[in-house]
Amino acid sequence: MTLPLPRRTFGASAFAKGDEFGRLPEWDLTDLYASPDAPEFARDMDWLDQACADFSASYEGKLAGLDAVGLLAAVQAYEQIDITAGRLMSYAGLRYYQNTMDSERAKFMADAEGRVTDATTPLVFWSLEFNRLEDAHLDRLLAENADLARYKPVFERLRAMRPHQLSDELERFLHDESVVGASAWNKLFDETLAGMMFAVAGEDESLNLEATLNLLTDTARPRREAAARALAEGFGKQIKLFSRVHNTLAKEKEIHDRWRKMPSPQHGRHLSNHVEPEVVEALRNAVVAAYPKLSHRYYRLKAKWLGLETLQVWDRNAPLPIEQPKTVDWATAEKTVMEAYGAFSPEMAALAKPFFDKGWIDAGVKAGKAPGAFAHPTVTTVHPYVMLNYLGKPRDVMTLAHELGHGVHQVLAAGQGELLSATPLTLAETASVFGEMLTFRQLLSQVKTPAERKTLLAGKVEDMINTVVRQIAFYDFECKLHAARAEGELTPDDINALWMSVQAQSLGDAFDFMDGYETFWAYIPHFVHSPFYVYAYAFGDGLVNALYAAYEGGLPDFEAKYFDLLKAGGSKHHKELLAPFGLDLSDPAFWDKGLNMISGFIDELEAMED
């Protein structure tokens, strides 16, 4: 384990200048390491080398002969290695994402990744040998030792891969090769996107991706159109590179899946999520069946509000004509989210407060910074970090509420320890989407006019459509992409056609699609970094809608049950965790409950037209 590092005094210098947004916070990464050349970083790298070598010498070829106490000691030693490796890579990775165009940071992360990969190669035997233990033998050890039995969920997820693991030699090869495989293509993708600048007609200077995407929500339609056309032009210029990235990663995955005898490209994701394929299929089918009553109906309504026969892609997230242009400064965003969290539970607000006070959020849009937003759990002995690209839009407040929910979830789950804290995607979006819902309900309770209510409801419906309909369309696109790639190399036109097929189906007849929109798959990072991750957003929205209905319905001890769910991390299966709420994700009718909430909001918006 590493020694605790002193916490830096958090002062004004830790904030990026945010102009009209106020002071925007930047990460204080000293809780991980004081600097790239800190002696603690070098010490931990050296420790990792030795610890992995010692672990291999102590346990390789010997797992079957360990008693319960011996196996527990091995698991705990492995956990400490996991913490140190995670701490090292969290620091290197977070520094890199602050500026992916900085060659020093890129080199530092690549060197760290290579060193950690080399150090941990001797550990490859662990999962392979563990999975060769007889079931009866492992069951007996678990029955003998309660501390060992705590790790049963970890063992179950590990042993779910038994039918798909390769020979020890091949697994070692894949481990070593990973740094020049998917990881290298991910870096190429990230650095390409971060370096792209878009010449938007009418703007004084070229804009990066985040700033250009932000213009798609501008009040002025010509400005939105100019941004959309600039994006299409930029993606078009790089489309061969993006196609190469997707072709290569999809083919690599197909090779790995074929050797591992995975029944489908999605199966590995389902295994890691500890979710049954039929549950995901039920979610997907329910959402696709609901397209007409959700996105198709809403966008026809929006076209009417905007006075248009058909919508263009740059109208999808346009503000309503009655909506007053609004910039939300950082202090207001913090106050809004903290009040919403506090109204639900003072404990939740207390857990969220350090993110704002101690440098756990990096909010500003900066040159070279990775696009989008995320919450990184780092390791259970430190704390999470949240990244935003804050531009003062009301939607950015919801993004803050979302990512802060992840952060609170990660803090609560850390009590499970490193191996049990990670939450499968079945529940990973619960706290984030619940945080958004709390913030939305708080704002809705404060509206003073019908126009304000309509604006807020419409914004929430659009967010939910983006979370549910759009993400399931993304999932279908990935399914089609991987299936088509299995038949051969895909041209950019091939990928474009797959993208448009799901866009037309999901968005409906209210839309006309400009030339160039067919390339907009190119910037979605989940397709590159985490294949088939996207269904987690729809999963989380449907689950939270059902949870919130239970909360509003006065389910006894809801707050305590909710905190128990978050604290469980990855220590329990979703069936066990949701039983106290009377929810069962395996029930095909379950997903209709969440979709009906969205439909109900659209009903209310339609009623306002009468």
Residues 84-96 have pLDDT tens digits of 999 999 999 999 9
pLDDT-derived band at 2 (thresholds 50, 70, 90) equals very low
pLDDT digits (tens, 9 = 90+) for 177-188: 888 889 899 999
Q: Amino acid letter at 28?
A: D
At a CB cut-off of 8 Å and minimum separation 6, what does 486 contact? 254, 265
- What's the confidence (pLDDT) of residue 416? 97
pLDDT digits (tens, 9 = 90+) for 165-207: 888 888 888 888 888 889 899 999 999 998 999 999 999 999 9
20-180 is a CATH 1.10.3720.10 domain:
no
Q: How many CB atoms lie within 10 A of CB 206?
A: 14
pLDDT digits (tens, 9 = 90+) for 105-154: 999 999 999 999 999 999 989 999 999 999 999 999 999 999 999 999 99
328, pLDDT greater than 80: yes
- H-run or E-run covering 106: helix 103-120
Cα–Cα distance measured from residue 442 to residue 397, given in angstroms and rounded to the nearest whole number: 12
- What's the confidence (pLDDT) of residue 10? 28
Q: How many CB atoms lie within 10 A of CB 151?
A: 21
CATH fold, domain 330-464+536-573, is Neurolysin; domain 3 (1.10.1370)
CATH fold, domain 196-324+466-529, is Neurolysin; domain 3 (1.10.1370)
Strands (E), 385-534: 385-387
- On the question of a common fold for 20-180 and 196-324+466-529, the answer reads no
Q: Name which residue leads in pLDDT, 536 or 229.
A: 229
Mean pLDDT of all residues in the chain?
92
- What's the confidence (pLDDT) of residue 14? 38
* Orientation of helix 330-344 relative to helix 346-357, angle to 10°: 150
Domain boundaries, the chain: 20-180, 196-324+466-529, 330-464+536-573
> Can you give the three-state secondary structure of 8-59, one letter per residue?
CCCCHHHEECCHHHCCEECCCHHHCCCCCCCHHHHHHHHHHHHHHHHHHHHH
**Which backbone phi and psi does 331 adopt, to 5 degrees?**
-60, -40
- What's the confidence (pLDDT) of residue 180? 83
pTM attached to this predicted model = 0.82
Cα–Cα distance measured from residue 523 to residue 527, given in angstroms and rounded to the nearest whole number: 9
- H-run or E-run covering 539: helix 535-552
Q: How many CB atoms lie within 10 A of CB 584?
A: 14
- In this structure, which long-range contacts are made by residues 43-51, counting pairs with CB atoms below 8 Å and at least 24 apart in sequence? 43/2, 44/2, 44/84, 44/87, 44/88, 45/88, 45/112, 45/115, 45/116, 45/119, 47/2, 47/84, 48/81, 48/84, 48/85, 48/88, 48/116, 48/119, 48/120, 49/119, 51/77, 51/80, 51/81, 51/84
Contact 109, 99 (CB under 8 A): no
Mean pLDDT of 364-375: 91
